[in-house]
Chains A and B, each alone.
Chain A
Amino acid sequence: MSTKIYVPSDSGALSLGAEKVAQAILREAAARNIDIHLVRNGSRGLYWLEPLVEVETANGRVAYGPVRTGDVAGLFDAGFLGGQQHGLWQGRTGEIAYLEKQERLTNARVGITDPLSLDDYLAHEGYKGLKNVLAMAPADIVKEVTDSGLRGRGGAAFPTGIKWNTVLNAPAERKYVVCNADEGDSGTFSDRMIMEGDPFVLIEGMTIAGLAVGATQGYIYLRVEYPHAHKNLNAAIAAAYQAGYLGGNICASGKAFDLEVRLGAGAYVCGEETALLESLEGKRGMVRFKPPLPAIQGLFGQPTVINNVISLASVPIILDRGGAYYRDFGMGRSRGTLPIQLAGNIKRPGLVEKAFGITLRELLYDYGGGSASGRPIRAVQVGGPLGAFVPESQFDTPLDYEAFAANWAVLGHGGVVVFDDTVDMARMARYAMEFCAIESCGKCTPCRIGSTRGVEVMDKIIHDENRAQNIRLLRDLGDTMLAGSLCALGGMTPYPVLSALNHFPEDFGAPKAPETA
């Protein structure tokens, strides 16, 4: 019998040489006349160990990593096909501490299955949610999602069930389900991991959304920076059509749902839902005024569910196990799990899916192992480029939407970017303004002009020109952008800027902040 070997085709693993390792394993096996079956799985999300090679043994899957092509012959020599010891041996994959303590609901299959195998998906509880849904009334499907407590994982954390209910009750001939896969936040990659590592779960989630609200057409708006996700989504969609899970007669139920991937073109603002809809319609990605909400007048003026990848990918397990099962994870009004992404200057970067309530400190040190550089961690930016910088004094805050809001910070899409003590926070504040200026859609003045003025004010602060006066001006500008911008791009750029100023005033040439807990 041939031995099963797993080498990820996740783009993060590929970025570290997984393709060459896979080829080397095939070559080495052929040279030794050994029969192997190579599976290209998604990533387990242990990126410091990528490329992580796993071998299926009688004793379960055993991991080796990080594997370079030069290690391959030695792995064969050491008997890795039998799970034997080697310098890169990590033990049974599921027992690696980083993975063992996680609560992987949304990412249950990522890294385990062959992402493009529908059989694999079905063998790992795939499409069980849809099976239930086909026998349910739309209002009951929506109620299950509402009961789960699921809130939008894209960043705004709006209750998903309430959004769906609005679309369900909006009378229209045609409705749409749109997946926001424009994962533009630096420090985030969980959407990518789902789309590359388990695309069927997103397809199933969107199909359920369509059946719940009465929409028959879905679009995945995918950023162009994700070519591997594009390939996998298209392949999985084709397989789902082939097997009758998409199309005019889903699982012979008489119900229809069609799905298509559309590519963005490198505009951060298109992650904002109304700009995304404009872009899907073939226009410049200009933010729309709200109301009307997309749930009432969305894509092509029709009622539209628009949700993030992780929100939609969390739906199948909710409809499989029930809303109560999902709701039992988490704390306060933050229910379920959050796929947290540890990124930047951290020793063990990767994906940590945990129930809400875990603290930043646990994530940064227990999981992350401290900074990659070995220097003290000075600041972390949570929630992408529009998220606040969090100082060490707030590392014990639990990951919870409300707890972060109380600190004038956000969880956003769950990205955590770590900076060591070499970071210059005034430079980071300047960059936040610069980024806003580059990516502003230009529709509203506070964002379009404010960001450019913000870069200029930051330059003056950095170059010590009328510092005190310019810091006052920066705060004033921040207030204007916060209160006057049309969307979160201009409206939240003050979060990184002012949090940097508030927590690290010494980098702005202002007196050091008193230590506060």
Chain B
Amino acid sequence: MNQPDWNRDAVAAAIEGLQDKPGALLPILHAIQDALGHIPPDSVPLIAKALNLSRAEVHGVISFYHYFRETPPGRHTIHLCRAESCQSMNSAGLEAHAKASLGIDFHQTSADGAFSLEPVYCLGNCACSPALAIDGEVYGRVSPERFDEIVGEVRAQA
């Protein structure tokens, strides 16, 4: 997979700025994903070389953590909470509604490229269940109707 040159620059900048930190790998991966929305597979050899690791080790770390992704997400990422507190307030119903209205399952991106849907296990908003986050902003007490409103607002911003 060919990455445009600016990707390589963003990756190189992330590596260069952080490689001297103790335990630099996670900070570097975060910086790359913050800049590009994902961690391009082509960046793995660069990271490995800079940190004196094998590519397998870097890949192993990326694949271990749910948050890191190697494919580009949609323009917005919805993290829908599946944990117990939200379950007690019918997050299962919200999940079914979200999947049906976006026409996707977890770990997929809607056909128009607007939304990726990811499960999350607790957003720490358990006093306002069920909860979800879109691009890091948390929403609480989300009914299916409120879900449609929020998604409509976010879609209008884009």
Q: What is A's interface to B at a CB cutoff of 8 Å?
A: 11-12, 14-16, 45, 47-48, 50, 183-189, 191-192, 224-227, 262-268, 279-285, 300, 341-345, 349-351, 372, 381, 385, 415, 417-420, 423, 428, 431, 435, 438-439, 441
Contact = CB atoms under 8 A, between A and B. Distances in A.
Interface in B75-91: 79, 83-89
Contacts of A184: 121-122
B51 A344 contact: no
B64 A192 contact: no
Q: Which of A280, A283, A419, A428: most chain B CB closer than 10 A?
A: A283
B96 interface: no
Interface class of chain B by DSSP? mixed
Interface string B8-34: 000000000000001111110110000
Nearest to B136: A227
B124 A372 contact: no
B23 A284 contact: no
Contacts of B133: 225
A168 to B, nearest CB: 22
A344 B121 contact: no
Contact of A262 (B23, B66, B86, B138): B23
A262 B127 contact: no
Contact of A185 (B66, B122, B137, B141): B122
Nearest to B88: A344
Contact of B121 (A12, A189, A268, A280): A268
Interface residues of B, number: 42
B127 A341 contact: yes
B128 interface: yes
30 contacts: A12-B138, A12-B140, A14-B138, A16-B128, A50-B128, A183-B124, A186-B83, A186-B86, A187-B83, A187-B122, A189-B126, A191-B124, A224-B67, A225-B79, A226-B124, A262-B26, A266-B65, A284-B61, A300-B22, A341-B126, A343-B127, A344-B88, A344-B129, A349-B126, A349-B127, A351-B127, A418-B88, A428-B84, A428-B87, A439-B121
B61 A225 contact: no
